[in-house]
Structure 1
Amino acid sequence: MDTTEDLRKAAEWIRQADGLLITAGAGMGVDSGLPDFRGDRGFWRAYPALEHLRFSFEAMANPQRFYDEPELAWGFYGHRLQLYRDTVPHEGFTLLRKWAERMPRGAFVFTSNVDGQFQKAGFAADRIHEVHGTIHHLQCLKACQPVTWPADGFNPVVNTETARIESELPRCPHCGRLARPNILMFWDGMWVEHESERQEARLKAWYASVNQPVVVELGAGKALPTVRRFGERHARHRLIRINVREAATAPQHGLGFEGGALDTLQQIEAQLNAAGWDDFTV
């Protein structure tokens, strides 16, 4: 089967679906200009100061770093927070919203990304499950209370040459200890996951209401396969996997497209338009 025929089939699945399950990994944000931290070299290109220190992504995305070097830990996460705040979601997000608006049950997002880009692109917050949490909320480093709070009032000033924060560190409003992002990190026993659990419950209820879902997976790699496995379990043989390097998909799961998120979504949109999307009703 050639790529054009696969694109036509993907478009047909989308036209026939009554609900769109979007599963997204780090590759979804690349077309918006966000780094995906693929391997140490990719991570160090984004943070040259950390290459000098020989810190890997796993070494930085680790709660212990907040104990050992809080200014460096918050330099890394503070820079990411401002980067995500400044980033404009690419047009692919708009295409996904457009498709979902044609479906009786709309869309739900399952993502390992912590960047908040789906909310920024206009997806309803109660239709998103951030399985690894979000950088836009904070929690106590010691998890003194099982609560989180918005990071809206926190505006970190980071020295990009040293990768260290130079402004005041955020504090827990309950105990005064250092605060950290509400993100599930490596070797993390203190992540406050209550909001993620509530999101998961809403996702389960939504999925139970969908009769014929289609899953569009974007930029989810094999290194951390949470997103890939979730989509495969819920696709009901209609998984549309989009990945630059790891697009291989078992036939019983669906179709795989080797390419970037934006370009591939635009190709599927072209097939929907050619097939007369406006003339089709579920």
Structure 2
Amino acid sequence: MYEFEIKRPTTIADAVKALSEEDAQALAGGQTLIPTLKARLAMPSALVSLTDIPELKGVCQADDGAVCIGAGTTHAAVKAECASLYPALSELASHVGCPAVRNRGTIGGSVANNDPSACYPAAVLGSGATVITNTREIAADDFFDGMFATALDEGEIITELRFPVPEKANYQKFVQPASRFALVGVFVAKYADGVRVAVTGASEDGVYRWSEAEEALSSNFSADALGGLSVEPDDMIADLHGSKDYRAHLVKVMTGRAVKAAG
């Protein structure tokens, strides 16, 4: 590790001010950033820790029934506090990484990093959630811009995520056993006006919605509705863990499992 300065603001305003300084980097749970620093893949001169800001932590339910989660809330806290409010999200959180990661990593850090195999982006996109920052509100469909890329501006931080609660939902993850990331993960959510299906771990473009499955499931929320569908492998990730065709096949399999579990 190299030498750098750590700043510990206690308010969102102070964090934004600290991040406006040249070569400053936000530090949430650090589960991705710290290994990146150790490998010298990034070398900011200052880290702005967000862990001492009470405004960024906690789970509550809005008057309209939406579940609001502070960006600094750990995976373990999401698991515990969303168990009755949004069970599918709680279940997803319970399978992120290992206990050490779940007790340190945060939902906001995961969403802001937008790893192509991370679980939370599928929940955000599959739920049609709203990403709230220090300056604006961003719909999930407008937030994710591809692998490790989001709509966040320089120095902008996520403060809260707001999830509309569906009638039924489930997340199924085919785990890459070494990293615990999703080789393929699918989040399915059924709302009164239709079904949303978000896929992570599979595409070279990062998390995405499988629109054909959404249309079929909106008419018939049953795994049988997926029978005639197929996933094009062209844009799938290919690596030592699985080929494009393998991941394309898994998308359909995991979607069917999610529908059965939700139903």
TM superposition score category, shorter chain reference:
under 0.3
TM-score by length of 1: 0.26
From the two aligned structures, give the one with the greater helix fraction.
Answer: 1
Larger relative contact order, structure 1 or 2 (CA cutoff 8 Å, min sep 6): 1
